[in-house]
């Protein structure tokens, strides 16, 4: 009971849950991005990568369930901490002079938009893809599916917008993670802030490069 209270009832426990679940989600985002960037290596490479993942359905579903669990814990802990902060200060200050960054002030909203993007992305590319063709080897033609999807400016634009918010959300969240774990203190604080900013930019550039390249003509030979 004490362990349960320490983890799920205390503010410190909820911060740890949010931080560790966020770290797991960062790992997923980075891994997902590295996998997607194989599209620049050609149709054979990205389709072989997709076939490799589908060849391990149990591991794939375990990863999906784990991802959903992390998302659920991350959202729950974030909402719980916001409610605690509001209960601690039920009356707003008469004069507000916030020194918080744009990222920290919009964490909840950017997080909700990113969540809606994840749902959209699953339906667009995984659950109900508009293109279900196969390549010459009989594998799901992921390469052509991605090119078709991002050839639509609205689809590509929404993906770019969502990844912009994702980068902002992750850059601040990654920095907050080390604060929650008690690591971002003293002379290490600036170092972790820089690391979080670099991570956000790398994820932004990596993810956005794909729809941008397609809009500029990459992969149009398969259409």
Indicate if the alpha-carbon torsion angle 191, 202, 75, 61 is positive or negative: negative
Token code pair at residue 15 = 């911060």
Are 143 and 88 in contact by the 8 Å Cβ rule? The answer is no
Q: How confident is the model at residue 89, as a pLDDT?
A: 66
Domains and CATH numbers, the chain: 2-222 (1.20.1300)
Are 18 and 78 in contact by the 8 Å Cβ rule? The answer is yes
Q: How confident is the model at residue 99, as a pLDDT?
A: 46
Token code pair at residue 22 = 């966020």
The Cα–Cα gap between 190 and 184 comes to: 8
pTM of the prediction?
0.79
Q: How confident is the model at residue 106, as a pLDDT?
A: 59
Token code pair at residue 211 = 């729809």
Tens-binned pLDDT, residue by residue, of the chain (223 aa):
567 666 777 888 888 888 888 888 888 889 989 999 999 999 999 999 989 988 998 988 888 888 888 888 888 888 888 788 777 765 555 544 444 555 555 566 666 666 666 666 666 556 555 566 888 888 989 999 899 889 999 989 988 988 888 888 887 777 777 766 666 666 777 777 788 888 889 999 999 999 999 999 999 888 7
Find how far residue 167's CA is from the centre of its chain: 8
Are 13 and 186 in contact by the 8 Å Cβ rule? The answer is no
125 secondary structure, DSSP code = I
């Amino acid at each position: 009971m004490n362990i349960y209270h320490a983890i799920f009832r205390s503010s410190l426990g909820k911060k740890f849950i949010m931080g560790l679940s966020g770290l797991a989600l960062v790992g997923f985002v980075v891994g997902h991005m590295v996998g997607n960037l194989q599209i620049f290596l050609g149709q054979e490479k990205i389709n072989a990568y997709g076939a490799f993942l589908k060849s391990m359905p149990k591991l794939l579903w375990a990863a999906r369930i784990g991802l959903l669990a992390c998302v659920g814990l991350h959202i729950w802990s974030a909402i719980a901490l916001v409610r605690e902060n509001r209960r601690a200060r039920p009356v707003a200050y008469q004069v507000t002079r916030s020194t918080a960054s744009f990222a920290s002030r919009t964490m909840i909203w950017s997080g909700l938009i990113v969540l809606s993007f994840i749902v959209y992305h699953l339906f667009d590319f995984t659950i109900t893809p508009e293109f279900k063709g196969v390549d010459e080897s009989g594998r799901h033609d992921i390469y052509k599916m991605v090119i078709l999807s991002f050839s639509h400016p609205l689809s590509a634009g929404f993906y770019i917008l969502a990844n912009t918010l994702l980068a902002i959300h992750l850059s601040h969240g990654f920095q907050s993670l080390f604060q929650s774990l008690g690591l971002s203190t003293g002379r290490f604080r600036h170092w972790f802030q820089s690391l979080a900013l670099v991570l956000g930019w790398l994820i932004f550039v990596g993810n956005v490069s794909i729809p941008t390249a397609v809009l500029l003509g990459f992969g149009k030979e398969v259409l």
